[in-house]
Structure 1
Amino acid sequence: MGGDADIARTAALFADPARVRVLMALADGRALAASVLAAEAGLSAQGTSAHLARLREAELVEVEQSGRHRFYRLAGPHVAEILETLARSSPPQPVRSLKSGTRAEAVRFARTCYDHLAGKLGVAITAALLERGALRRTDGDPTTARRAEDRLSAPMATHPYELGPAAERLFGTLGVDLGAASRARRPLLRFCLDWSEQRHHLAGALGAALTTALTDRGWLEPRARGHRAVRVTPAGREHLAEHLGVAL
């Protein structure tokens, strides 16, 4: 029988900038080879292997063998939640170039948080689903505003949302099989307090299914390898405005 959780030991893993770059490269839910991770994190192969070994030991990442190759991914959405939680209570890194400034702006506009949408786009879509009755807030607030108990430094353990009367119709219009999402092994409805927008965005199995549907339809696409930001395509702008009233 163990004692209290060794928070300091886990927290130390997030105190190394290089190790955080490895985790952030995996934060969009991809499984990457160590060589790709090294390139994306700007590290040597030896340094990346050392960081991955420590992260595996702490059960923050897991590895999948495919033939002669090994692919690494986050151990689950809870690791992405830790990264988002730390981001909410951390100062922004200084912008020293046009390239880094453009990248920071893109991440704040639309990014993946493990396997669901975050940033301005994720919050706007969640608000539109609420306004159109696909979601319903149970505490009387008609918006996605942060509650008094939603701390910036912690994930949302509870949320004030449920499916609304228009859920099946509207999610179906967006290409989401609500029944299939409901049968997933993870909770259908979860929500995050978006670190850049300070409002709620949809997560859980439904958030993941929606992101997959919008990507499969060609409404969203990755910006570049190693970049969590996503781009809304011209077709995506048209259809998100048509179906959700989200003007980008």
Structure 2
Amino acid sequence: MKEGPDIARIAALIGDPARANILTALMSGKALTASELAAEAGVGLPTASSHLRKLEEGGLIALRKSGRHRYFTLSGGEVARVLEALMGLAAGHGHVRSRTGPKDNALRRARVCYNHLAGEMGVEMYQAMRARGFVTDEGGTLTLTQAGERFITGLGVDLATLPRSRAPLCRECLDWSARQSHLAGQLGRALFAQFIANGWARRTEGSRAIRFTPVGETAFARAFGRDGATVSTG
């Protein structure tokens, strides 16, 4: 008698190329329509609708309605973490897409991973925060220190306004391109939102790539550079 979670069902849902493309597109954190996801998957709308129904029934995506409009998102951060881990596994074993170009370089430099910063800049940020004692994993749990609280507040993030949730404040997420961890959790999400709000970074239309402005590049380097200098947001 077989017992325990049925990983084969989940693996089959993710394993279809069209559905994998749909899920990857939703890693942007944006809600997308069936037509948009059909284009991402390279299939017709009826076929995409069938895939979306299967993904929704499998608990991997969620349907959101706004008036007559229907949008799809990943069902939660747990799904995003699984997808990012699979991307890392695929990249680590040489299973990468053959077409490369500027978009690939941009994605490796900085991209959104569901709701937080990933890529080289995400890894740089996390490593700097660990090196300077802003986060620590003593006891096996990643924790924001008092020095980290002061630093984060200096960047303009009001920790008191973060939603109360069972989701951890700080969490590691394995970066598929850098093969190292970047910062996720509520803190990772809050920092990414702050970078967008203060004009340091911008989303790239139709891509998960994040573009930092010249001012943002300078501010990011001052905040998370190896010299340990902090940024003035004034």
Q: What's the CA shift for 1:178?
A: 1.7
Q: What's the CA shift for 1:109?
A: 1.4
Q: TM-score, normalised by structure 1?
A: 0.83
**Which of 210, 213, 216 is matched with 1:236 structurally?**
216
| Equivalenced residues, count | 223
Q: What's the CA shift for 1:160?
A: 5.0
Deviations 1:29-71 (A, max 9, x none): 1111111222233321111111100000101001011111111
> Unpaired segments of 5 or more residues in structure 2?
228-234
Deviations 1:13-33 (A, max 9, x none): 111111111001101211111
Paired position in structure 2 for 1:219: 200
Q: What's the CA shift for 1:102?
A: 1.9
Paired position in structure 2 for 1:24: 24
Deviations 1:186-221 (A, max 9, x none): 211111122222222110111111110111111111
Structure with greater proportional helix content = 2
The answer on whether the counterparts of 2:35 and 2:45 sit within 8 Å (CA) in structure 1 is: yes
d(CA) in 1 for partners of 2:185 and 2:147?
19
Cα RMSD of the aligned pairs, angstroms, is 2.0
Instruction: Please give the secondary structure, in 2, of the residue aligned with 1:166.
Output: helix
1:208 corresponds to 2:196: no
1:197 corresponds to 2:210: no
Bigger CA drift: 126-135 or 113-122? 126-135
Q: What's the CA shift for 1:74?
A: 0.3
**Which of 154, 161, 174 is matched with 2:142 structurally?**
161
Q: TM-score, normalised by structure 2?
A: 0.88
Paired position in structure 2 for 1:123: 123
Distance 1:10 1:29, change over 3 A: same
The answer on whether the counterparts of 1:95 and 1:101 sit within 8 Å (CA) in structure 2 is: no
Task: Extract structure 1 runs of 4+ deviating beyond 6 A.
Answer: none
Instruction: Please give the secondary structure, in 2, of the residue aligned with 1:112.
Output: strand
Bigger CA drift: 30-39 or 60-69? 30-39
Instruction: Please give the secondary structure, in 2, of the residue aligned with 1:71.
Output: strand
Paired position in structure 2 for 1:176: 157
1:56 corresponds to 2:36: no
Q: What's the CA shift for 1:182?
A: 6.7
Q: What's the CA shift for 1:246?
A: 6.5
The answer on whether the counterparts of 2:13 and 2:55 sit within 8 Å (CA) in structure 1 is: yes
Q: Which amino acid is 2:43 matched to? A: L
The answer on whether the counterparts of 1:129 and 1:244 sit within 8 Å (CA) in structure 2 is: yes
Paired position in structure 2 for 1:101: 101
d(CA) in 2 for partners of 1:182 and 1:175?
16
Instruction: Please give the secondary structure, in 2, of the residue aligned with 1:14.
Output: helix
d(CA) in 2 for partners of 1:42 and 1:173?
45
Deviations 1:158-191 (A, max 9, x none): x553212321221112221122237344211111
